[in-house]
Amino acid sequence: MPWKNVSTMSARAEFVALAAVEGANIRSLCRRFGISPKTGYKWIHRVRLGGTEALADLSRRPLHSPDRTPAAIEHAVLTVRNEHPSWGGRKIRRRLLDLGRTAVPAASTITAILRRHDRLGPDAGTPRAFCRFEADAPNRLWQMDFKGHFATSTDRCHPLTILDDHSRFALALRACANEQETTVRAALIAAFRLYGLPDRVLCDNGSPWGTSGSEERHTRLSVWLLRLGVEVIHGRPHHPQTQGKDERFHRSLKAEVLAGRTFPDLVECQKRFDVWREVYNTQRPHESLGLSVPASRYRVSSRSYPEELPELEYEVGDAVRKVQKDGMIGFGGRWWKVGKAFIGERVSVRASGTDGVWVVYCGVIPVAQINRTIG
């Protein structure tokens, strides 16, 4: 993705953070970000010498100085808190350490400083939910959802969020005008071009990725993902905790970006989203990651996005069928329902290993079952 699609500083910082992950392919990252290797290595070198501040000619007063007094330490704590009003003692301490500051006080001391200056909210110290599931590697599972829409001065903003389950890396945060299939597909294509393809995507049961209230299991969006080799899974109906990490991301977005603010339009929403996404990925210590930042655990997928949808290939011996206009296929002298979302697609029918039971595949992913022992 070229620099122009997000703020220059955000793109540079994200590139350097991903390049620092062990095993990162720098030249591949440069291609993903639309820059030359020379430019990519230049930014890596600048950060090594001067930190992220070296990515732009910004006049920033450094937090670290050997002549700092305890009052200056307190000032540094409050400065970070002013920039991130919802952060507590542990996050602020980790951020000060990441900035290279020495003599950083304990998290409990920082909390006491915040309390003395009346900077603690009413819910400070409230235990957070423990998340028991985590994908074992980046890109094994992405979570995707819309946060509740809100009004701007001219329209409504529908924030679309895409999060890597393993690293909590925010792959996309888009200020959308609607929640239509074309809007979601465009956001996914942008993410796929930059980060590659995941193995699976977890989303809810509503439109455009689900068919809540319908007998159909798939939508045109989910079929498109299946053709890319991306499995689509859905959370349990009325159980938003299934997408707990994305829900938690939404809470942070509300507290750190949306609360108490108004926006003139979607353009301004996106500007704020871009700035905060960089902070979230590369600066904000994450409790469930041992106070590491998400970018330290994320690496791009080895599966690149194909600009042209690949032809589906099936195993020798499969019975290949074209889904008819009613969503049905003919097999074994009978008609079987696959789903209207597959109309015009080629699917395969393959023996399951159980007598009389066959599995229908779209590419490498099973999408339906035929049981010839019934009816």
pLDDT at 144: 93
Average pLDDT over residues 359-375: 88
Termini Cα distance of the chain = 53
CATH superfamily for 142-296 is Ribonuclease H-like superfamily/Ribonuclease H (3.30.420.10)
Average pLDDT over residues 362-373: 89
Output the six-digit token pair for 68: 């700092």
Q: Which stretch of 68-77, 102-111, 267-276, 343-352 has the lowest confidence by average pLDDT?
A: 68-77
Average pLDDT over residues 332-340: 92
Confidence class of residue 129 from pLDDT cuts 50, 70 and 90? very low
Confidence class of residue 6 from pLDDT cuts 50, 70 and 90? low
The better pLDDT of the pair 343, 96 is held by: 343
Average pLDDT over residues 24-38: 91
Confidence class of residue 189 from pLDDT cuts 50, 70 and 90? very high
Does residue 68 carry a pLDDT above 50?
A: no
Which contiguous run of DSSP H or E holds residue 91? Answer: helix 89-98
Domain at 70-116, CATH class? mainly alpha
pLDDT at 216: 77
pLDDT at 131: 45
pLDDT tens digits, 107-122: 888 888 887 777 775 4
pLDDT at 281: 95
Average pLDDT over residues 248-263: 92
Q: Which stretch of 24-33, 195-204, 229-238 has the lowest confidence by average pLDDT?
A: 229-238
pLDDT at 321: 96
The number of beta carbons lying within 10 Å of the beta carbon of residue 307 is 7
Amino acid in position 34: G
Output the six-digit token pair for 69: 């007094």
The alpha carbon dihedral of 88, 91, 97, 103 has a sign of positive
* SS3 state of residue 143: strand
Does residue 210 carry a pLDDT above 90?
A: no
> Are 142 and 164 contacting, i.e. CB atoms less than 8 angstroms apart?
yes
Does residue 198 carry a pLDDT above 50?
A: yes
pLDDT at 262: 93
Domain positions in the chain are: 3-55, 70-116, 142-296, 319-371
Average pLDDT over residues 239-256: 79
> Are 206 and 180 contacting, i.e. CB atoms less than 8 angstroms apart?
no
Most confidently modeled range among 6-10, 243-247, 317-321: 317-321
Cα(176)–Cα(170) distance, integer angstroms = 16
pLDDT tens digits, 140-155: 999 999 998 999 999 9
pTM given for the model: 0.73
Cα(209)–Cα(221) distance, integer angstroms = 6
Does residue 304 carry a pLDDT above 80?
A: yes
Average pLDDT over residues 328-343: 93
The better pLDDT of the pair 215, 212 is held by: 215
The better pLDDT of the pair 166, 123 is held by: 166
pLDDT at 307: 93
